[in-house]
Amino acid sequence: MKKLDCKFRPLVFFFVTLLIGLFSITTAQADERLIIITEAGEKTISLSNDGNILFNPDSSSACFLISQPATPGRMDVGYGGEGGGSMEFYSKTYSGREGQFKFIYGGDSTLGSLTFTHYDGSSWNDMMTLDYTGRMDMSGGAYCDGQSWVNASSRVLKENISDLSSEDALETLQKLEPVSFSYKTDPSDTNLGFIAEDVPSLVATKDRKGTSTMDFVALLTKVVQDQQKQIDYLETEINKLRQ
């Protein structure tokens, strides 16, 4: 008999594995239509009569996937039963919550957080976390508490700290060109500000696509402080002349 060609071996292996798996599929009882079990007899996936899919249904850490025929366009993911999943997805046709994604930890809306992470090749790093209170923390130290945005400003996050010179501050301020404008997304709303590509380099971002409010606050603070010193000096001189 000829040996099986090497290129067909993976295909044969796949079908053999599939056949073995089919023998592990059995009809269930009562409210279950289909069950996939291991050789040891443990359930791995269960399909119920109402369309729910259970992964590891006999385990306390089961992942519960729900497809609800009664509410088309909605899917719940997470252990906790119908309507109590850890995550809820709504299609764009779902009435009332079109296209929404809802995250709930453990079926309790007062717990849990949503975290975006990045893998740098050796470890996972949290880039942004949104907790149940509505607070959003960024990896750089900035955060939003749901009412206002707070820039990262702690000394422990900074380096190359140096005083802003009076000359640089005044020169930058004189070169600023305030303008009124409207964003293209809402032409009817007039705003005041600056054009990122036109501001002096001292207050420009690296990509020149935006500006930082704190840059201008620091700039104006320095100029006002210098002007106040000059005012105090002039008042002293005027008082001397009066005497």
- Are both 138 and 184 inside the same structural domain? no
Neighbours of 165 (CB within 10 A): 10
Task: Work out whether strand 74-77 and strand 87-90 pair parallel, antiparallel, or are unpaired.
Answer: antiparallel
Q: Which pLDDT value is given to residue 110?
A: 52
136 near 128, Cβ under 8 Å? Answer: yes
Residue 155 per-residue DSSP state: G
CB contact set of 168 (below 8 Å; sequence gap of 6+) = 202
Residue 36 belongs to a domain: yes
Q: What's the confidence (pLDDT) of residue 24?
A: 45
**Domain-located, residue 3:** no
Distance CA 56, CA 193 (A): 57
In a domain? residue 160: no
Residue with token string 């470890």: 123
One-letter amino acid at 66 equals: I
Q: Is 66 exposed, middle or buried (0-12, 13-18, 19+ CB in 10 A)?
A: buried
**What's the domain range around 134?**
113-154
- Asked if residue 2 is part of any domain, the answer here is no
Together in a domain, 195 and 150: no
One domain, residues 117 and 99? no
CA 224 to each of CA 171, 181, 194: distance values in angstroms, whole numbers, following the listed order: 13, 27, 20
Q: How many residues does the chain have?
A: 243
CA pair distance 175, 43, nearest whole angstrom: 72
Q: Are residues 44 and 125 in the same domain?
A: no
Predicted pLDDT at 240: 93
Q: Are residue 49 and residue 77 in the same domain, yes or no?
A: yes
- The predicted-structure confidence for 59-111, as pLDDT tens digits, reads as follows 555 455 555 545 667 777 665 444 445 677 778 877 777 777 776 654 455 55
Number of domains composing the chain: 3
**Does 135 map to a domain?**
yes
In a domain, 175, yes or no: yes
Q: Which amino acid is at 108?
A: D
Per-residue confidence (pLDDT) for residue 229, from 0 to 100: 96
Same domain, 136 and 175: no
pTM of the model: 0.58
The upper half-sphere exposure of residue 202, i.e. CA atoms within 13 Å in the direction of its Cβ, equals: 19
Q: Are 37 and 43 in contact (CB under 8 A)?
A: yes
Quick one: which H or E segment has residue 230?
helix 213-242
The pLDDT assigned to 228 comes to 97
Q: Does residue 108 sit within a domain?
A: no
Tell me the pairing of strands 143-144 and 149-150.
Answer: antiparallel
pLDDT the model gives residue 26: 47
Tokens of 180: 């009124």
**Kind plus residue range of the DSSP H or E element containing 233:** helix 213-242
Flag residues of the chain having pLDDT under 70: 1-33, 37-38, 49-52, 54-72, 77-86, 103-112
Question: What secondary structure does DSSP assign to 88-149, as a single string?
Answer: EEE-TTSTTSTT-EEE-BTTBTTS-EEEEEEE-SS-EEEEEEEETTS-EEETTS-EE-SS-E
**44 is a domain residue:** yes
What is the end-to-end Cα distance of the chain in Å, rounded? 123
